[in-house]
Chains A and B, each alone.
Chain A
């Protein structure tokens, strides 16, 4: 078996990039290509450099967008670029370069939820299923033809970071299913219906519900917003805020859903200012507890 490509470049960071790189490195000898990893954004827990060192493969950390663009534009040999967990937007000149075939992983079932932080929007919009999409990169954002998709359920208590992990697991499985075929022949992608310039794109600065809820909102809606914004301490989103009945706004420190024990029968909500806790009745005998901090 021989690859159509002389080089395979993995660009990205995080779990999917690590899984993809491992797979790409394992197959370079069999398919006769050279693997290279480019880390565009530094990530404290990244294993990419270590994986490359172990396999004797090239690793580059290029955080400057212009420098990365220059390097990609200089490539003349047939090269597959695998973008996984990557926030670098490939410029039109790079995308249209004949020597490059660029594929990208998106953390939702395209054409739904294109743009950033898709798992958050999936939870916030109350979707029951989402997944991972591998697609060709074109000049538009997340709009190229779809190579492969795998689904994962959006369970009722799932938080954004948990869903992100589940999607990444599916992305790695999907990659392993199509990668060898892609090396040998170009997989005919499935065009995305509705991927037009006018479709809604989700931007990094957009927060589900504006990042604010009210103690008067239904508990299920509040819970959904909090889960949608929950990436732990990663700093992807600022802490969610909750408006108290008197209009003051508090920062949500943490939250949990558990069997009801604080609220009395028929009681909808209670606020304990001393303990800085809000208790909200949920369906099914559950209670949402929110630890807050007044700003």
Chain B
């Protein structure tokens, strides 16, 4: 699963693989449009729905947050 997630993130912006800060949008690694694209790709790849309330700094701050969210949603 992690590999698939990292692949999606790398396709959007490979800086996401090394970024460890708290908020990849605030830190301008990606913009809000790229975040939409990541969400759509994750939903497609894992056949899940990510609710609007899950789109938060806690869940989409960096790659580790995203991996943790995906484990929870697919668990």
Contacts and interface: CB of A to CB of B under 8 A. Distances in A.
Interface of A: 14-15, 45, 47, 50, 161-162, 164-165, 231-235, 253-254, 256, 291
Interface stretch (B2-10, B14-22, B30-38, B64-72): B30-38
A164 B37 CA distance: 13
Interface of B is mostly: helix
B40 interface: yes
Interface residues of B, number: 19
B25 A231 contact: no
A232 B51 CA distance: 11
A50 B34 CA distance: 21
Main secondary structure, interface of A, reads: mixed
B37 A253 contact: no
Given A161-B33, A165-B31, A233-B36, A254 B43 contact: yes
A39 to B, nearest CB: 15
A45 B55 CA distance: 11
Nearest to A253: B49
Contacts of A14: 32
B15 to A, nearest CB: 17
Interface of B: 25-26, 31-37, 39-40, 43-44, 47, 49-52, 55
A167 to B, nearest CB: 11
Contact of B39 (A15, A165, A232, A291): A232
Given A162-B37, A233-B39, A15 B52 contact: no
B26 A232 contact: no
Contacts of A231: 36
Contacts of A15: 31-33
A256 B44 CA distance: 8
A254 B44 contact: yes
A45 B32 contact: yes
A234 B50 CA distance: 12
Contacts of A165: 31, 33-34
19 contacts: A14-B32, A15-B31, A45-B32, A47-B26, A161-B36, A162-B37, A165-B31, A165-B33, A231-B36, A232-B36, A233-B39, A233-B51, A233-B52, A233-B55, A234-B36, A235-B52, A254-B44, A254-B49, A291-B47
A142 to B, nearest CB: 22
A218 B50 CA distance: 29
Q: 5 closest A-B pairs (Cβ-Cβ)?
A: A232-B36, A165-B33, A233-B52, A45-B32, A161-B36
Given A161-B37, A162-B33, 11 more contacts: A14-B32, A45-B25, A45-B26, A45-B32, A161-B36, A162-B37, A165-B34, A231-B36, A232-B35, A232-B39, A232-B40
